[in-house]
């Protein structure tokens, strides 16, 4: 495909800010503020928090306050997790994003934490730390922190705890709906810019669904392909209780039972919006529980034999594919990462052992003795994957020679046997390594296999998060995209590992294309600059102005009618099928008619 300058876009290298898991101060003036759920400075003495340990004394005191005369003092704590908790089930709604902030104080040095608890459908309680602040006797702020929860959990609490049992003071507590910050509608869609070259996708996690702005960016730029960040990994899918029950009932310990409960909301989203999914991942040393490899599927069992593990592997892959096909027939899995990260940088199998006890070790190698589990994994995936679904081997540091060569040799062997369709280059990069030409050398070698190549988890960190640092990052991204475009005959998709910096797994080094306020960073402008593309011409019914009428238009107009989405003036024109000046169910019916025609 010839590159040219038809729609040259000025690389307006905007200054970008980076905030980590918290909302930056002075948020965009155009943000739509959310409703306040509970705000208190404890001045009226009313306290809606209860003690987590049941032993705490929780009272409004006038001996210390951040503002006004009173604060909430928590004394009598016997454990570090004792502290004030607020039950959210009745106050907050599942799937909505909230923000909490407070001022806290300890009497001497202490790290005061804001945490969250919920109970899942199996009755297991989960705890996670949301934010913290260190006080050495002074009042310190726990800055606005976003969170959400899904509809299948109960007993949702936020609470304060600290490193020891000393008194905690809390003041000026605010719990509110997170404001909705509009995304930039007037910039090109990344997926349109690269439509002649490859699909553009991203990874999302279930928690991202609660952020309307995040999802607007996904829909505008990345809806060619979605990977679930964690929800289809073995530790999310394997259901130990159901598996043990199966063993008990059938006396068969080779048939691991699976659940899609962690992935449900994402599967529903992709099904409803017709977004193709990259399945991630079937066979991996990480995020896979040890009991899967142990006798009787018990935590304490011995490692099973290779023969038994082969049967378990086949059943696992079969069960995952069958459950997806049965429960989510409308979700298109166009690709699956069958095996992930099996080779070390020097091109050897991983060390045998448990990754859960010693990071980097592989229970697959423990059971098989080497990497001979890879081929059967592809055989079973080929046998049970939906028709047309492409199968990939996926890895990081793919530009390091030893690993690159091992992947190349393995891929050619599997290709000859008709088992593999492509190689996934994760591409977790940093502006200082690898250089674009080192990256390109790996891409070129993989392309030379004749297999498809996908860039599956692209992000590029920068330690310098100043304006100048982001410009260096922009240049780096541009060079990497130039390399990918050069090989675009062999590359079918480029998938970013996330959308906004603050939600990235490497948040402190701001590796993505959008900042915490959902605005495009210099890196975004750098990769669209100079790419020739044709802006889609909207047609009637094409509410998202993608150039054709799809189910996404129906969903968008339905959401508009339910006040869940906004349409700008131009979009409204295309949505208003009967041109009566109103957008309602009659327009939805007319758009559906186009789809059915």
Give me the active site residues, please: 341, 457
C-alpha 316/C-alpha 294 separation (Å) is: 14
C-alpha 424/C-alpha 398 separation (Å) is: 9
- Residues within window 379-398 making contact with ligand 9MR, judged by CB under 6 A: 396
CB-based burial label for 274 (10 Å; 0-12, 13-18, 19+): middle
To the nearest whole angstrom, how small is the minimum distance from the Cβ of residue 395 to ligand 9MR? 8
C-alpha 192/C-alpha 396 separation (Å) is: 27
To the nearest whole angstrom, how small is the minimum distance from the Cβ of residue 341 to ligand 9MR? 7
Helix or strand holding residue 461 (H, E): strand 452-461
Angle between helical axes of 551-561 and 264-273 (0-180°, round to 10): 110
Structure tokens at 171: 């003041």
Q: Count residues contacting ligand 9MR (CB under 6 A)?
A: 9
To the nearest whole angstrom, how small is the minimum distance from the Cβ of residue 509 to ligand 9MR? 13
The full DSSP string for 310-349 is HHHHHHHHHHHHHHHHHH-TTS-EEEEEEEES-B-TTS-B
C-alpha 318/C-alpha 320 separation (Å) is: 6
| Residue number with CB closer to ligand 9MR (243 or 340) | 340
User: Which residue in 360, 40, 62, 20 sits closest to 171, CA to CA?
Assistant: 40
| C-beta of residue 141 within 8 angstroms of C-beta of residue 25 | no
- Residues within window 324-353 making contact with ligand 9MR, judged by CB under 6 A: 340
| Residue number with CB closer to ligand 9MR (165 or 287) | 287
| C-beta of residue 175 within 8 angstroms of C-beta of residue 37 | yes
| Residue number with CB closer to ligand 9MR (269 or 396) | 396
Structure tokens at 260: 């899609």
What is the number of alpha carbons within 13 Å of residue 47 lying toward its C-beta?
Answer: 19
Residue 128 is classified by DSSP as: E
| C-beta of residue 299 within 8 angstroms of C-beta of residue 291 | yes
Which residues in 233-329 belong to E strands, given as ranges? 277-284
| Residue number with CB closer to ligand 9MR (132 or 207) | 207
Q: Note whether 239 binds ligand 9MR by CB under 6 A.
A: no
For the chain, the farthest-separated pair of C-alpha atoms sits apart, in whole angstroms, at: 77
154-162 vs 168-177, strand pairing mode: unpaired
| C-beta of residue 220 within 8 angstroms of C-beta of residue 187 | no
Which of 96, 351, 505, 573 is in the footprint of ligand 9MR by CB under 6 A?
A: 505
Q: Note whether 426 binds ligand 9MR by CB under 6 A.
A: yes
Angle between helical axes of 401-416 and 374-384 (0-180°, round to 10): 50
To the nearest whole angstrom, how small is the minimum distance from the Cβ of residue 285 to ligand 9MR? 10
To the nearest whole angstrom, how small is the minimum distance from the Cβ of residue 303 to ligand 9MR? 22
To the nearest whole angstrom, how small is the minimum distance from the Cβ of residue 32 to ligand 9MR? 28
Beta carbons within 8 Å of 470's beta carbon, 6+ residues apart: 13, 15, 16, 462, 510, 521, 522, 523
**For tokens 């046998």, what's the residue?**
383
- Residues within window 349-378 making contact with ligand 9MR, judged by CB under 6 A: none
To the nearest whole angstrom, how small is the minimum distance from the Cβ of residue 162 to ligand 9MR? 25
Q: What is the CA 17 to chain-centroid distance, rounded?
A: 21
| Residue number with CB closer to ligand 9MR (105 or 509) | 509
C-alpha 513/C-alpha 525 separation (Å) is: 9
To the nearest whole angstrom, how small is the minimum distance from the Cβ of residue 203 to ligand 9MR? 7
| Residue number with CB closer to ligand 9MR (426 or 492) | 426
To the nearest whole angstrom, how small is the minimum distance from the Cβ of residue 349 to ligand 9MR? 18
| Residue number with CB closer to ligand 9MR (469 or 511) | 511
Q: Backbone dihedral region of 579: left (phi > 0), alpha (psi from -120 to 50 degrees) or beta?
A: left
Count CB atoms within 10 A of the CB of residue 210.
21
Which of 239, 290, 457, 576 is in the footprint of ligand 9MR by CB under 6 A?
A: 457
| Residue number with CB closer to ligand 9MR (436 or 496) | 496
- Residues within window 157-196 making contact with ligand 9MR, judged by CB under 6 A: none
To the nearest whole angstrom, how small is the minimum distance from the Cβ of residue 455 to ligand 9MR? 13
Q: Backbone dihedral region of 45: left (phi > 0), alpha (psi from -120 to 50 degrees) or beta?
A: left
Which of 80, 230, 508, 548 is in the footprint of ligand 9MR by CB under 6 A?
A: 230
- Residues within window 250-309 making contact with ligand 9MR, judged by CB under 6 A: 286-287
Which of 84, 212, 229, 424 is in the footprint of ligand 9MR by CB under 6 A?
A: 229
**Binding pattern to ligand 9MR, positions 395-414, x when CB under 6 A?**
-x------------------
To the nearest whole angstrom, how small is the minimum distance from the Cβ of residue 83 to ligand 9MR? 26
The full DSSP string for 9-31 is ------------SBPPSS--TT-
Shortest-Cβ-distance residue relative to ligand 9MR? 505
C-alpha 477/C-alpha 471 separation (Å) is: 10
452-461 vs 491-496, strand pairing mode: parallel
| Residue number with CB closer to ligand 9MR (178 or 425) | 425
Residues at the site binding ligand 9MR, with contacts judged by CB under 6 A: 229-230, 286-287, 340, 396, 426, 457, 505
């Amino acid at each position: 495909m010839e590159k040219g300058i038809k729609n040259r876009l000025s690389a307006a290298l905007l200054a970008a800010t980076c905030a980590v898991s918290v909302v930056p101060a002075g948020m965009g003036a155009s943000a739509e503020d959310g409703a306040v759920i509970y705000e208190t400075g404890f001045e009226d003495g009313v306290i809606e928090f209860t003690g987590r340990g049941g032993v705490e004394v929780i009272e409004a005191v006038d001996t210390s306050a951040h503002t006004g005369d009173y604060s909430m003092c928590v004394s009598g704590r016997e454990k570090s997790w004792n502290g004030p908790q607020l039950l959210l089930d009745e106050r907050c709604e599942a799937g909505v994003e909230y923000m909490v902030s407070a001022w806290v104080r300890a009497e001497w040095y202490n790290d005061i934490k804001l945490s969250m608890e919920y109970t899942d459908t199996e009755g297991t309680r989960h705890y996670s730390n949301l934010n913290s602040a260190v006080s050495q006797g002074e009042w310190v702020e726990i800055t606005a922190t976003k969170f959400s929860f899904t509809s299948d959990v109960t007993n949702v609490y936020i609470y304060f705890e600290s490193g020891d049992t000393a008194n905690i003071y809390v003041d000026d507590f605010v719990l509110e709906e997170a404001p909705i910050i509009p995304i930039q509608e007037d910039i090109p869609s990344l997926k349109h810019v690269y439509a002649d070259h490859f699909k553009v996708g991203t990874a999302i996690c279930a928690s991202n669904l609660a952020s309307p702005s995040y999802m607007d960016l996904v829909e505008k730029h990345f809806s060619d392909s979605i990977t679930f960040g964690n929800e289809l990994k073995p530790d999310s899918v394997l259901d130990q209780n159901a598996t043990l029950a199966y063993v008990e009932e059938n006396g068969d310990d080779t048939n691991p039972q699976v659940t899609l409960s962690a992935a449900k909301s994402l599967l529903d989203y992709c099904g409803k919006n017709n977004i193709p999914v990259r399945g991630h991942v079937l066979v991996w040393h990480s995020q896979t529980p040890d009991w899967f490899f142990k006798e009787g599927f018990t935590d304490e069992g011995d490692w099973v034999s290779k023969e038994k593990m082969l049967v378990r592997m086949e059943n696992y892959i079969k069960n995952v594919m069958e459950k997806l096909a049965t429960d989510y027939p409308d979700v298109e899995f166009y690709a699956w990462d069958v095996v992930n990260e099996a080779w070390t940088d020097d091109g050897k199998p991983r060390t045998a052992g448990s990754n859960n006890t010693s990071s980097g070790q592989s229970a697959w190698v423990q059971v098989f003795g080497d990497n001979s589990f890879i081929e059967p994994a592809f055989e079973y995936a080929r046998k049970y994957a939906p028709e047309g679904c492409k199968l990939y081997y996926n890895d990081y540091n793919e530009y390091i020679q030893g690993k690159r060569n091992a992947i190349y040799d393995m891929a050619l062997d599997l290709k000859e046997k008709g088992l593999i369709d492509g190689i996934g280059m994760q591409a977790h990069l940093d502006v200082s390594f690898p250089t674009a030409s080192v990256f390109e050398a790996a891409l070129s070698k993989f392309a030379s296999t004749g297999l498809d190549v996908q860039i599956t988890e692209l992000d590029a960190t920068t330690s310098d998060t100043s304006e100048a640092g982001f410009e260096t990052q922009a240049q780096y991204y541009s060079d990497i995209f130039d390399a990918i475009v050069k090989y675009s005959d062999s590359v079918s998709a480029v998938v970013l590992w996330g959308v906004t910096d603050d939600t990235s797994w490497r948040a402190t080094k701001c590796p993505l294309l959008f900042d915490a306020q959902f605005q495009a960073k210099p890196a975004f402008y750098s990769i669209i600059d100079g790419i020739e593309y044709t802006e889609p011409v909207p047609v009637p019914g094409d509410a998202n102005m993608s150039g054709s009428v799809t189910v996404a238009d129906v969903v968008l107009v339905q959401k508009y009618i339910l006040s869940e989405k906004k349409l700008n003036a131009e979009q409204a024109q295309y949505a208003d099928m009967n041109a009566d000046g109103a957008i309602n169910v009659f327009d939805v019916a007319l758009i559906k008619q186009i789809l059915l025609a």
